Amino acid sequence: MSVKPWMRVSSALLAVAWGGNEFTPLLVMYRTVEGYEQVAVDMLLAAYVLGIVPALLVGGPLSDRHGRRALMIPAPILAMVGSILLALGAGSLVLLFVGRVFSGLALGLGMAVGTSWIKELSDRPYEEHPERVSGARRASLSLTAGFALGAVIAATLAQFAPLQTVLPYVINLLICLPAVLLVAGAPETRHASAPHGSLLSDLKIPATRQHRFWFVVAPSAPWVFGCAASSYAILPALMADVVGPDYGIAFSGLMCLVGLGCGFFIQPLGRHLDRDGSIRSLAVGMVAVILGMLTAVAAAATLNIVVVLAASAVLGCGYGLVLVSGLQEVQRIARPDDLAGLTAVFYSLTYVGFFVPMVLALIARFTSYPWLFASGAVIAALCLGVMAYGRRHEVRDLDALEAAAAR
């Protein structure tokens, strides 16, 4: 049985997402077993953003000009390097930091290039009925599945298996090896073109000038991983004393499963809500973000396991809806020549949210987490207001253009 072209790329995207998130539920382990402070652990969580953002902003535009395969094949290889460094670095903050950066480089390439490649492989001539499928949903589901499986399996092995600081990362090596071979056999959709100028000119993304991107998509983007990080990084840390050291890692894995599982299964709703010109899908996602932050207020105040799991579920729904809706908007706005570039900018904005745990850990010294989550709900509501304003402004501009054309 032959593997469909989009599935080949999806396997690599899943593998690098697995490598990017396998570290997250192990934060409890590094804090309790290795004795690292909470701020240091949160710094390691955010460290891979230092790899993700450059890989996104360079890899995406370059793949638009020079082809997808050449930029995508290195992604699972870099993920393997990251996992090896993490497996070797349990006692060294430096090795863990560098390993996280490599994991970020892999994920950045995978997200920018892989998402665009999957979208192109979901159209003709690679798909007989492209109207029945969504490249954005295929990419976001692959990403979310990798995040969820990597976190849950890493947490299970770290909690119940031997070699708890090594074995979780070995699994990622076994996932990445076949992914390299699969993605190498995927058909190229963007063949390298004649030189267009300097490297700097290759990195320009004309689609970023569009009003809709900055006033509708951008205000929602940081909430993708703002929700995810709140769900499976902040709340498990708050629950560490409640669940105890014997089950702390497993509970962190459960939180990842609940949050990302809800994010996975809610994504088809984003496609049903999506309409050309409307921001309904993104708006519903932002409402879920606000509800998730409010539920997190109750979770942080009570530290009740049921309430905490409920907060993780609602935050996961916000993550899933905003992710798939944002990608749908990006694929609608972008031209073929800058699809990966604009996707890279969108993902870079989403990863602003990954600094939330570190920032909140610093601010929490002066206030409480319930107040911080309540502030998050207010900020999310303001972002929704900016999106509504941006949409109304866009409609007024279109009406003015139509009236001018009629005259």
Q: How far is CA 143 from the centre of its chain?
A: 7
| Rounded distance between C-alpha atoms, residue 361 and residue 344, angstroms | 28
- pLDDT of the residue at 102: 96
Overall fold of domain 1-185 = Growth Hormone; Chain: A; (1.20.1250)
Quick check: do 1-185 and 207-406 share a fold?
A: yes
| Rounded distance between C-alpha atoms, residue 70 and residue 113, angstroms | 10
The CATH homologous superfamily to which domain 207-406 belongs is MFS general substrate transporter like domains (1.20.1250.20)
Going by C-alpha positions, the residue among 91, 359, 112 that lies closest to residue 99 is 91
| Rounded distance between C-alpha atoms, residue 240 and residue 238, angstroms | 6
Q: Are 22 and 154 in contact (CB under 8 A)?
A: yes
- pLDDT of the residue at 397: 46
On the 0-12 / 13-18 / 19+ scale of CB atoms within 10 A, 336 is: exposed
Q: Are 59 and 71 in contact (CB under 8 A)?
A: yes
| Rounded distance between C-alpha atoms, residue 257 and residue 147, angstroms | 9
Total residue count of the chain as it appears in this document: 407
What DSSP character marks residue 204? -
Q: Are 216 and 387 in contact (CB under 8 A)?
A: yes
CB atoms within 10 A of CB 88: 15
pLDDT string in tens for the chain (407-residue length): 578 999 999 999 999 999 999 988 888 788 777 777 777 887 887 788 889 988 988 888 888 888 899 999 999 999 999 999 999 988 888 999 999 999 999 999 999 899 999 999 998 888 877 777 778 889 999 999 999 999 999 999 999 999 988 999 999 999 999 999 999 999 999 876 645 555 555 556 766 778 888 999 999 999 998 999 899 888 988 998 898 877 888 898 999 999 999 999 998 887 788 776 678 899 999 999 999 999 999 999 999 999 999 999 999 999 999 999 999 899 888 887 778 788 888 988 998 887 777 788 778 888 899 999 999 999 999 999 999 988 876 655 444 434 444 45
Going by C-alpha positions, the residue among 84, 110, 112 that lies closest to residue 98 is 84
- pLDDT of the residue at 206: 66
Domain boundaries, the chain: 1-185, 207-406
CB atoms within 10 A of CB 28: 27
- pLDDT of the residue at 307: 97
Q: Are 383 and 219 in contact (CB under 8 A)?
A: yes
